[in-house]
Structure 1
Amino acid sequence: MSTNPVVLIVGGGAAGIELATRLGKREDLDVVLVDRDASHFWKPRLHELAAGLLGDGEEAVPFLAHGHSHGYRFVPGALLRVDAERKTVRLDAVRLAQDDETILPPRELHYDVLVLAFGSRVNDFGTPGVLEYCDMLDSPAQAIALRRRILALALRTAGDPSKRIRVGIVGAGATGVELAAELHHAFNDMHRYGGLDSASKLDITLMDMAPRVLPAVDPRTSETARRVLERMGVTVRVGVGVNAVEHGVFDLKDGSRIECDIQVWAAGVVGHDFVSDLGPFELSKDRRIVVDGTLAARGVAAIYAMGDCAYAPASAEGGIVPPTAQAARQQAEYLAHALPRALRGERVEPFAYRSKGTLVSLGVRQATGEVPSGGKGHGVIPMRGWVAKLLYVSLQFMHRVTLHGWPRAVALWMADGLRNTTLPPVKLH
């Protein structure tokens, strides 16, 4: 049995699986990854899965096989409790989804170092009716369920010009904007390859209480996204919040009502509900675990947090790390170097987040975004069109490189190209 320190990583999202992949190569650590799901899916592509531009399992990375190839162990199960004094975590039982048969009983796992990377969930802001009536995009299962509802509506209304498909999306950040654009693209592909009605039958309303779409980016980037969406026929309603959600209706705070066949909530993120009872952690107002400059949980020994579940300082100058995929990747790379040094008792430099810009997909051949200018004024250079789209696609490619290495990442890219020449780009099932 190995006597190496056990590094237990809870959460196999972008941050967790990249950290496990990097640390799994070391012979002086016993790396264990825990996740409630059996495979990893890169969250920035959930809107493509929901729109039908990805099929079930196409981008899934099975933890068992990946861990076997990259030197870490995978243990399935949902996290219930952290005992910081005994250095153990409690996992829930694992059951078959079909008949609720127990596969694995509740268990305890020991750790020497614990890294929490279990992400976040969509923030409903306490709005009545959101959880009851809205689809969300927190997981592949939710995205697949949304895709099937959309396809069912497309089939049900096909050929009837009197019936429209009304989609309401709350949240004009990256997820909401990308979903609106990809749905427009997907419906045109349904028409081209499946004989269903085109996007001309689609009524999409994108809503946000912020004064513009993509409120966190440069106004020029925001304006580009708005113009592209409106050319697609998307109705943009900004500067107005949602008062309540009913079945088939968004009740807005200005007194108007948006009737919808599909209701999607994509407005911000918040920590999972279970975090409040997870262990002796200091939490932010949005239920994220407060960490110091080295990503160590405040007041608790040998526990770190990263990704969306962490409330982390961006640098010594101030600011908070945003809950984005690029931030999670930077934190995983940082801990891959910092944890072995900390275990050896060496000094560790604090984490410093460096924004590499923002890119938002607006369909198959275009995107918008911005990259840092590199100047002293911290300005940005707006980008649009196919160049921005090329950079956007490269982010997914580099994630694959981290997980699989260059040869397999290139092979997967070539396989994607071959598949697209023989199969419809939209999934009609």
Structure 2
Amino acid sequence: MAERPTRVLILGGGAGGLELAAKLAADRRCAVTLVDAVSTHLWKPRLHEFAAGTVNSTLAEISFYMLAGMRGFRFEQGSVEAIDRAGKTVRLAAIHDGDGRVVTRARSVAYDVCVVALGGITTDFGTEGVAEHAIRLDTKADADEFRELFIAAMIEAREGPDPARVVIIGSGATGTELAAHLRLSEQAFFEPADAGERRKLLELTILEAAPELMPGANAELRAGVSDRLRELDITVETGAKVAAVTADDVRTADGQRWPADIAVWAAGLVGHPCLEALADFTMDRKGRIVVDNRLRSTVDPAIYVLGDAASHTPRGAETPLPPTAQCASQQAEYLASAIPATIVGGTPDPFVFRDKGRLLSLGRAGSVGLIGFARRDDFYVAGQFATAAYHALQRQHQWAVLGPLRGTVAIVADVISPARGPALKLHG
């Protein structure tokens, strides 16, 4: 009688979780199930483009059900409630319709190996009014909500005397890229006949609590981003610690007031709140699950954690690895070989993160970033090379998810015939 495949249950279909599911499904020793609360996958680094309506790829959002059939894993849609470590099952919450009626009962999924990849969320640090009056870009639903508000504000600005005012709190990648792509989206609302006498329809402001833009980033990268934001007529205020957000403005601790039709909170990333309730995990101060150097939870070697849900501090480092798609992808690559090796009694080498740099897409101002090669220092890139490198990151992810053959065909088709132009043109 043939030995039963090891049941690998992956919780979360983000960049790392989905790549791991696709890779492990090719190993006949593994029976892979992927769980996610929604039915489609999108690459979170481009969430700001969904919000701004500037997504230009037919592969930007892909069905988990379709991917499961293509790559040979099983997909279960549902929200994760708890992990029963003793019984080796994961409980998924009941699914309700719009009227609150249960349409799918709560259910449990068994596992031999579990991988937690449930990501993180943007935290408001308890700041007054953020929950009520600001949008945080954590999910596709958040991006859709922002886009509808943005469209309404831009139509009002086009018809009235005053520009729409968007204030973004936080100058990390999400905040800066969103601002740049919103300036690109502004073009969809201009009347073609007014090309020679266009007034500004959109005022964009980025508020940063730290004394410098993009705190923690390389000085050359900060300077490049600052120059491009200035070219796009985006106001950046540093040392602006936000104390409250109201329906009409954003207020800083020193008493300054920034009028806002839409406020976006893009400051601070922590582990998803559900992580602490899953099981008796060791948590760090940012709500992430602490793991060892093989990405195993400290309380159960049968449970691995990757991506924004994991807190891994390499030997000699002072802080955990960064919550980036690059890190999640490398962890998925590692686990795709480490889990099968463990199944047959092996002991894989510890995980090692290799920082390959940082890239930002700033709309019509182009892309900028740092790229590292092997042991050399990072070097600054801009212009067409940076833009190509930025798009190559997602192409690499798509290739990993779709597989070499299907990925190559789909990517070539997408390059030849992408989704053309900002989605906002449909609403202008």
Q: TM-score, normalised by structure 1?
A: 0.93
Q: Does 1:23 align with 2:21?
A: no
Partners of 1:316 and 1:71 in 2: CA distance: 40
Which residue type is aligned with residue 389 of structure 1? T
Which residue type is aligned with residue 47 of structure 2? L
Partners of 1:284 and 1:216 in 2: CA distance: 20
Equivalent residues of 2:53, 2:424 under 8 A apart: yes
Q: Which residue of 2 aligns with 1:348?
A: 348
**Cα 1:341–1:125 shift into 2, 3 Å:** same
Q: Which residue of 2 aligns with 1:385?
A: 383
Q: Does 1:75 align with 2:76?
A: yes
- Listed as ranges, the matches of 1:201-216 within 5 Å are 201-216=201-216
Cα distance, 1:173 vs structure 2 = 0.3
Partners of 1:181 and 1:8 in 2: CA distance: 38
SS of 1:281's equivalent? coil
Please identify, of 247-256 and 164-173, the stretch whose mean Cα deviation from structure 2 is larger: 247-256
Cα distance, 1:427 vs structure 2 = 4.2
Equivalent residues of 1:136, 1:142 under 8 A apart: yes
SS of 1:137's equivalent? coil
Equivalent residues of 1:194, 1:428 under 8 A apart: no
- Listed as ranges, the matches of 1:70-149 within 5 Å are 70-96=71-97, 98-149=98-149
Cα distance, 1:374 vs structure 2 = 4.6
Cα distance, 1:241 vs structure 2 = 1.0
Cα distance, 1:18 vs structure 2 = 0.3
Please identify, of 273-282 and 252-261, the stretch whose mean Cα deviation from structure 2 is larger: 273-282
Equivalent residues of 1:188, 1:199 under 8 A apart: no
Partners of 1:81 and 1:215 in 2: CA distance: 36
Partners of 1:251 and 1:110 in 2: CA distance: 49
Equivalent residues of 1:151, 1:428 under 8 A apart: no
Please identify, of 189-198 and 361-370, the stretch whose mean Cα deviation from structure 2 is larger: 189-198
Which residue type is aligned with residue 176 of structure 2? V
Could you give the per-residue CA deviations for residues 253-311 of structure 1, whole angstroms, max 9, x where no partner exists? 22101110010001120122222222110000111000000000012231110000110
Q: Percent identity?
A: 36
Which residue type is aligned with residue 41 of structure 1? L
- Identify which of structures 1 and 2 has the higher relative contact order when contacts are C-alpha pairs closer than 8 Å and 6+ apart: 2
Equivalent residues of 2:57, 2:418 under 8 A apart: no
SS of 1:388's equivalent? helix
Cα distance, 1:229 vs structure 2 = 0.6
Partners of 2:283 and 2:335 in 1: CA distance: 21
Could you give the per-residue CA deviations for residues 70-91 of structure 1, whole angstroms, max 9, x where no partner exists? 1110011101111111111111
**Cα 1:270–1:329 shift into 2, 3 Å:** same
Equivalent residues of 2:55, 2:422 under 8 A apart: no
Equivalent residues of 2:56, 2:421 under 8 A apart: no
Q: CA RMSD in A?
A: 2.4
**Cα 1:195–1:263 shift into 2, 3 Å:** farther
Equivalent residues of 1:185, 1:199 under 8 A apart: no
SS of 1:90's equivalent? strand
Partners of 1:319 and 1:199 in 2: CA distance: 47
- Listed as ranges, the matches of 1:19-418 within 5 Å are 19-54=20-55, 59-96=60-97, 98-160=98-160, 162-191=161-190, 200-315=200-315, 319-364=319-364, 366-372=366-372, 374-375=374-375, 379-418=377-416
Equivalent residues of 1:365, 1:389 under 8 A apart: no
Cα distance, 1:125 vs structure 2 = 1.2
Partners of 1:418 and 1:335 in 2: CA distance: 34
Could you give the per-residue CA deviations for residues 190-210 of structure 1, whole angstroms, max 9, x where no partner exists? 327798996822111101112
Cα distance, 1:60 vs structure 2 = 1.6
Could you give the per-residue CA deviations for residues 8-61 of structure 1, whole angstroms, max 9, x where no partner exists? 000000010000000011111110001110111100111111001138986221
Cα distance, 1:212 vs structure 2 = 2.0
Partners of 1:184 and 1:341 in 2: CA distance: 49
Equivalent residues of 2:59, 2:414 under 8 A apart: no
Partners of 1:99 and 1:211 in 2: CA distance: 47
SS of 1:341's equivalent? helix
Q: TM-score, normalised by structure 2?
A: 0.93
SS of 1:250's equivalent? strand
Equivalent residues of 1:11, 1:116 under 8 A apart: yes
Which residue type is aligned with residue 426 of structure 2? L
Cα distance, 1:153 vs structure 2 = 1.2
Partners of 1:27 and 1:16 in 2: CA distance: 19
Cα distance, 1:384 vs structure 2 = 1.2
Partners of 2:238 and 2:374 in 1: CA distance: 31
Partners of 2:394 and 2:199 in 1: CA distance: 27
Partners of 1:237 and 1:31 in 2: CA distance: 48
Could you give the per-residue CA deviations for residues 87-107 of structure 1, whole angstroms, max 9, x where no partner exists? 1111101233x4444332001
SS of 1:49's equivalent? helix
SS of 1:31's equivalent? strand
**Cα 1:417–1:29 shift into 2, 3 Å:** closer
**Cα 1:51–1:2 shift into 2, 3 Å:** farther
SS of 2:109's equivalent? strand
Which residue type is aligned with residue 129 of structure 1? G
Partners of 1:200 and 1:61 in 2: CA distance: 36
The number of aligned residues is: 425
Q: Structure 2 stretches of 5 or more lacking a match?
A: none
Partners of 1:81 and 1:284 in 2: CA distance: 19
Q: Structure 1 stretches of 5 or more lacking a match?
A: none
**Cα 1:312–1:250 shift into 2, 3 Å:** same
Please identify, of 345-354 and 208-217, the stretch whose mean Cα deviation from structure 2 is larger: 208-217
**Cα 1:58–1:340 shift into 2, 3 Å:** closer
